């Protein structure tokens, strides 16, 4: 089975022209795709789809209504994923979403009452 990720990124430039970029990334055989839902302190539930394909590992989620692609980075324990200024760290049934720019942290716990896909 092959997994192809297509991300469309639209950006507004200083000129009255809109640019669109398509990125096709062939990950090869997918080892696993797992979806987790987390209940977060003072925030909406966080639903994350983890895609593992060989040495490639990504996490797909929405942050403030915007689709985001997080890539796995080296972590001392658990797993860490980075997208822009945001870091998603997971260990066991917990997740921590941090933003380096505004220094916010949201602690989350894997939800047992929401279906996992």
For the stretch 9-38, pLDDT in tens is 333 333 445 566 666 666 677 789 999 999
Q: Which homologous superfamily does the CATH classification assign to the domain defined by 29-110?
A: C-type lysozyme inhibitor (2.40.128.200)
More confident residue, 83 or 9: 83
Rounded CA-CA distance 85/63 in Å is 12
For residue 34, the tally of other CB atoms under 10 A from its CB is 12
Residue 116 — pLDDT band, cuts 50, 70, 90? very low
pTM of the model: 0.73
Q: What pLDDT shows up at residue 43?
A: 87
> For the chain, what are the domain ranges?
29-110
Per the CB < 8 A criterion, the answer to whether 54 and 29 are in contact is yes
List CB contacts of 63: < 8 A, sequence separation 6 or more. Answer: 83, 86, 97
Q: What is the DSSP string of 71-85?
A: EEE--SSSEEEEETT
């Amino acid at each position: 089975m092959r997994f192809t990720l297509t991300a469309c990124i639209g950006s507004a430039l200083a000129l009255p022209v809109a640019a669109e970029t398509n990125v096709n990334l062939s990950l090869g055989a997918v080892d696993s795709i797992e979806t987790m839902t987390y209940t977060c302190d003072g925030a909406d539930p966080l639903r994350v789809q983890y895609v593992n394909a060989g040495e490639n590992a990504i996490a797909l989620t929405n942050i403030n209504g915007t689709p985001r692609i997080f890539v796995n980075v080296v972590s001392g324990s658990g797993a860490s994923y980075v997208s822009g200024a945001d870091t998603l760290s997971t260990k066991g049934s917990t997740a921590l979403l941090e933003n380096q720019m505004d220094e916010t942290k949201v602690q989350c716990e894997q939800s047992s009452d929401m279906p996992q896909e």
